[in-house]
Structure formats: C-alpha cells, structure tokens
Amino acid sequence: MKFKHTSVLLHETIDNLKPKNGGLYVDATFGGGGHARYLLSKIDTGTLIGFDQDEYAIKSAKLNFANLLEPDSEPKLKLVHDNFTNLQRDLVELGYSDGIDGIYYDLGVSSPQFDQADRGFSYRYNARLDMRMDQSQSLDAYQLVNTLSQKELADILYKYGDEKFSRQIAHKIVERRKDKPIVTTFELVDIIKEAIPAYARRTGGHPAKKSFQALRVAVNHELDVLQASLEEAIKVLRPGGRISVITFQSHEDKIVKKIFKKYSEVEVPRGMPFVPDDMKPTLRLVNRKPIIASASELEKNNRSHSAKLRVAEKL
C-alpha cells in the first residue's frame, strides 16, 4: 500500500520544533508520514504519536512504518485513528497526561486522497459525492448538495471557497435537483460550469475547484475542529514546547493567526504595576510573519505555493 505525497515546508516545520532525544511529539495530521519520518530521523530516543482520521492513511502507515511501531523500537511511533480535535482525550487514554514537547499540523489534503476516485474529493474523477475524511461519519457531500437550502449552499461556497459566483451555483444546484438527486462529482461539475459565465471559466483554473474545496471543508467541519484542536494543543504543550501549523487556505491561516495572537498578547490595564500570573502570555511567536516555501521548493512542489507556516512556543 503506497501513500506517495511530497511534504510541504518539511525542514522548516520540524526544525522549528527543535526536536530533542526523549521528547514526546504529536503529528496531528499524519497523512503519508513525510514530516513524521524526518522528525524521527532527528532523534535517537523519544516518541511520536501520529493522528489521522483517514483509515486509509492509518493502514498505509502501519505498513510503511512497521519497524517503528515495534514495542522496543527507538524512537517509537504510535498511531491514533481519530480526528485531532480529540487530542487531549486520546493522549490521556494513551497514558500521556503530563504534556508534550511539540506538535505540528499539515492542513493540506494529501494527494493520494484526491487520487482515490471513489472518495469523491476531486473534480477530475467521476464518483459519488462523498468527500469524507473519516469514512465512518454519516454526513457527506451528497447530503449537503441535495438537502441544504439555496442560501445555505451559497453561504458555504462563498465562506469556505471564496466563490464569487456562489449564488448562481447554488441556484443552479437547487433547480437541477428538483428533477432528480445530484449523485456524482461530474454531475456537480457540469452544473457549476453552467452556472459560471463563460468569460470567468477561461481563467483561474478549473471552474469547480473553489466549490469542491468549500464542500470538503463543510463536510469535515475543518475550520471548527481546527480551532478546537489548537486550543487543546496549547493546553497540553509543556513549557518550552512548540507548535508548528502549515495552512493552505486564508480561512485556516486566519484561525491560526487569531489563536496565536490570543495567547501571545496581553492587554495590561493602565496603572497596573506588574502583570499578574493569570494575565501573562501563554505563547511566544517564533515567527511574526508566516514562513513560505523557498524558490527551490516552489519549483519542485506546486502544492507549496499557497502554504504558510506559523510557529509558536509555550512559555
């Protein structure tokens, strides 16, 4: 089982964590394990816990990292088939209740997930509308497309995909499904193409790209779970521990920036002679501006063009 995926901002993400021997680290989005393999190569002893809600990713990792999953291996790798929003609970269940030394998130969808036609993530393959990262959840793209109101659909397309023709697309979807349910990705692609004016389809890439992104985000509640998980991650970090987050969408980056700002800046009332302990900042920003891919990486990996990395340290 092969899970081919080129990791974005690989060295920048892991090196900024400053991994040390004996440390406990969390990969919140294991995927193909590119970042994990590099982190494990930087330490001789220690443990990395890899989270992924995608069963395919976990099955692949069990094969590709079998030697590191052995009880007596050093360093050690442990895999958790769960969404990273359950980070704190799962760590306690695993026996790690005293904190971690570092955690990182790669919020991009792995190429193998898109390339599995039956997952319904991609507008390039014809499949049932699905888009679920966790195949055990009931909500999928088919339900959203065929049950939401025109306004709800338009709001999703605009909010999560920055689709400026969101209203036209939502109207066309609702009109089309009056005859019969919209079942496949190609059916949806045709509807989107019909809804977008011809002049707009000539530029900006595939006309369905933004809509498919928006539906995927909505199906998997990606922004809500990201915010909840970041809050938990900051709580479980030990002093001196670091958190690295790679985002690929402006919505994700805004959430990371907002939470990092919330925990790194404090407003001290005027006239207060000192800052009480409960008002002191929790984080220190390692980089004020997001780290972006180098020119050489941009040439090798097209996915890195929209990537932004933010890093913070627990005080």
Rounded to the nearest 5°, which phi and psi values hold at 295?
-60, -40
Q: Is 90 annotated as a binding residue?
A: no
Give the C-alpha separation, 241 to 212, whole Å: 36
Residue with tokens 């915010």: 227
Please report how many Cα atoms fall inside a 13 Å half-sphere around the Cα of residue 235, on the Cβ side: 14
Q: Is 227 annotated as a binding residue?
A: no
Decide: 146 and 181 in contact? Cβ < 8 Å: yes
Kindly provide the b/e burial profile for residues 86-118, where b requires at least 16 CB atoms within 10 angstroms of the residue's own CB: bbbebbeeeebeeebbbbbbbbbbbebbbebee
Q: Is 241 annotated as a binding residue?
A: no
Q: Is 22 annotated as a binding residue?
A: no
Q: Is 84 annotated as a binding residue?
A: yes
Question: Angle 209-219/185-195 helices, nearest 10 degrees?
Answer: 130
Helix (H) or strand (E) holding 10: helix 10-15
3-state secondary structure 158-202: HHHHCCCCHHHHHHHHHHHHCCCCCCEHHHHHHHHHHHCCHHHHC
Give the C-alpha separation, 206 to 234, whole Å: 38
Count of Cβ atoms closer than 10 Å to residue 307 Cβ = 24
- Please, which residues bridge with residue 300 across strands? none
Residues making up the binding site for S-adenosyl-L-methionine: 33-35, 52, 84, 106, 113
